[in-house]
Amino acid sequence: MLVARTPEGPVAGRRVAITGLGAVSCAGLGVDALWSALHEPVAPPTKRVEPFDASHIAGPKELRRLDPFTLYALVAADEAWRQSGLTGPLEDAGSIVTTGIGGLQSILAQVEVMRERGPGRVSPFMVPMMMPNAATAAVSMRFGLGGPCETVTTACAAGTHAIGNGARLVASGRCPVVVAGGAEAVLVEIAEAGFRNMTALSASDLSRPFDVDRDGFVMGEGAGILVLEDWEHAEARGARILAEVLGAASTADAYHITAPDPEGRGAVRSMRLALEDAQLEPGAISHINAHGTSTPLNDLAEAVAVARVFGHSVPPVTSVKGHLGHSLAAAGALEAVASVMTLIDQVIPPTAGTTNVDPQIPLDVVHGAPRPARVETVLSNSFGFGGHNGSVILRRVES
């Protein structure tokens, strides 16, 4: 049930509208490409973002000075900004674009330059290309956003944290608009070797979240961006409101640097706090867009946590990582984009790669084909190395 809001409630403040969506993923450029791919029963053949024409973003010289993660963020933000219909500059508007690792490709390229040609030939642009805040800085400059410009680096929870933190800035009245999301581009040999040697990656290179035969995640890359806006601000300018951010939460497991708490205690608190923030009972959630990485421990811990929060009334669950792989800090942002599209189209995408749900996982995992459903609210979860937990709740808007 939806609990009536009061001025003293945990979500006292301004309503937070979503007025723009943008995406870059292995499915291609744009939200339409992403959403179309998520309806397919099988995943795209590669989890890489294929080369694309970015001349609408900048000229060749400027593009060479952007690490791919920054470029992905700019392309996704440009799509979201154009859909929102906003124009800058906006002195009080904010940007929170996150990353888990930052400009790793730029670092590796310049290490090679130094090794082969000496330190004097290292690019003077290396530091602004590699720094984790490069993407959010680039977004703020492109659209003239003069408010808070921040980066949350909380591993695989960062994209969801960006949306939650951005929503807080809007709800508090600090910012009328916040561009929020995450970007990642670390599909390189050393990153894959690191994850593989810690036995986090799938030996079969197949992502199959919640499946009895899951054996690890598959690395992905890309960016997801949402434009968050004060509801009255959006209405006053006649914007199309796509969905509403009702609540969000962030907690820590305080347990282990990489392994999740097997009891899911931090995840339970994150979901419950998000529900409290939204002033919703668990039964009001229509659908869960899960973290669902396809690792044995993470999927089981998430299922345990969801069961503790929802009891015997767990709503349908999906993980888009079966299609997109795990794009670290971009994952939660891309999942939020998918969640908004679920609210708009009233269809839950299937979990690609999953054919036989683990009997130890008491969830209604949508797989095989898209499922039409009445979806009023979506809970989207993200959990990251370091014990970071993030949850955000989105609500459908009558069109």
Q: Is 233 designated active site?
A: no
Alpha helices in the chain, H assignment, sequence order:
31-38, 60-63, 68-84, 104-117, 126-130, 134-143, 158-171, 189-197, 231-236, 265-278, 296-310, 321-324, 329-345
How far is Cα 124 from Cα 168, in angstroms, rounded to an integer?
36
Mean pLDDT of the 227-242 span = 98
Q: Is 156 designated active site?
A: yes
212, β-bridge pairs:
none
Q: Of all residues in the chain, what percent carry a pLDDT higher than 70?
A: 97
Q: Is 312 designated active site?
A: no
Predicted pLDDT at 8: 37
For residue 2, pLDDT beyond 70: no
Predicted pLDDT at 365: 98
Predicted pLDDT at 54: 97
- DSSP letter (8 states) at residue 75: H
- DSSP letter (8 states) at residue 212: T
How far is Cα 324 from Cα 289, in angstroms, rounded to an integer?
13
For residue 305, pLDDT beyond 50: yes
Predicted pLDDT at 4: 42
CB distance 220 to 47 below 8 Å: yes
Q: How confident is the model at residue 358 (pLDDT cuts 50, 70, 90)?
A: very high
Mean pLDDT of the 379-384 span = 97
Predicted structure pTM score: 0.95
Q: How many CB atoms lie within 10 A of CB 172?
A: 11
Predicted pLDDT at 77: 98
Choosing from 161, 287, 326, 367, which is the catalytic residue? Answer: 326
Domain 16-396, CATH = 3.40.47.10
Mean pLDDT of the 363-377 span = 97
For residue 3, pLDDT beyond 60: no
How far is Cα 205 from Cα 216, in angstroms, rounded to an integer?
8
Rounded mean pLDDT of the chain? 95
How far is Cα 389 from Cα 12, in angstroms, rounded to an integer?
23
CA-atom Rg of the chain in angstroms: 20
Q: Which two tokens stand for residue 55?
A: 């001349």
Q: What is the dihedral of CA 289, 292, 293, 296, to 10 degrees?
A: 180
**pLDDT tens figures, 22-54:** 999 999 999 999 999 999 999 999 999 999 999
Choosing from 161, 291, 323, 388, which is the catalytic residue? Answer: 291
Choosing from 26, 149, 156, 175, which is the catalytic residue? Answer: 156
Q: How many CB atoms lie within 10 A of CB 194?
A: 12
Mean pLDDT of the 91-117 span = 97
Q: CB neighbours of 227 closer than 8 A, spacing ≥ 6?
A: 18, 19, 20, 21, 80, 81, 83, 84, 86, 177, 178, 179, 180
**pLDDT tens figures, 161-211:** 999 999 999 999 999 999 999 999 999 999 999 999 999 999 999 999 999
